[in-house]
Copies of this chain bind each other. A is one copy, B any other.
């Protein structure tokens, strides 16, 4: 039920629905669980200086040269032609990314991030199961309106991003005013999926799950569905995502 004294929370299930929500003065959480926002959390957790999200491969190559950064990205789930690295969290251990800039382009996540920026004056963070607690802690502390923005798959609603939105609603929804069926449906799905997210995705035929399984990426999927393994808060500022000050320490403190 709407609770007038609390900030609002909405779940936007696809970038093609973003225009329905007023992003101004809100925190928009960009969600692309498989795998952009999982990789962003991992790279920052492992010490990358920042992650620069860009919306095209040519721009990725151009900025990679200019910033002396790692060029990375995927199209349709595989390493994009012309780039050096892909979209798997396992490609970015501390030994490789510490102190470096990662320039990243992905099919859906970076697109949604740029759409939100173009739509209004909002604060942008990224979320995935790997940094679920950091995201929830920040949203709770901020007391600002929240839009959980699912990157989806080429604008089609997907299961994994919906489940992550549901996880956030399940964890902190009580502290927000939620007049949004998408949020309640996501929470209901998450509660059912929670005992075994991987199995839920498998038996419910999640499309991107099967796409990645066909590429032999079961290890990636299992990792990306694990809570808090890279529990930092990526915050967008000056064209890049940076680890919020203290967020890794907070994460360590929780364990």
Contact = CB atoms under 8 A, between A and B. Distances in A.
A206 B1 CA distance: 9
Interface string A4-25: 0000000001101101100000
9 contacts: A13-B157, A20-B154, A20-B155, A156-B181, A162-B181, A162-B185, A179-B205, A180-B207, A181-B207
Interface in A203-227: 204-208, 210
A189 interface: yes
A208 to B, nearest CB: 8
B205 A178 contact: yes
Contact of A189 (B155, B178, B189, B205): B189
A185 to B, nearest CB: 6
A251 B20 CA distance: 40
Nearest to A154: B20
Contact of A206 (B20, B153, B159, B181): B181
A185 B184 contact: no
Contacts of A204: 184-185, 187-188
A192 interface: yes
Interface in A139-154: 153-154
Nearest to A160: B181
A158 B204 CA distance: 21
Nearest to A158: B181
Contacts of A1: 205, 210
Contacts of A155: 17, 20
A182 interface: yes
Given A20-B155, A156-B20, A189 B181 contact: no
Interface string A92-117: 00000000000000000000000000
Contacts of A208: 181
Contact of A185 (B157, B180, B181): B157
Contacts of A192: 188, 192
Contact of A157 (B156, B159, B182, B205): B182
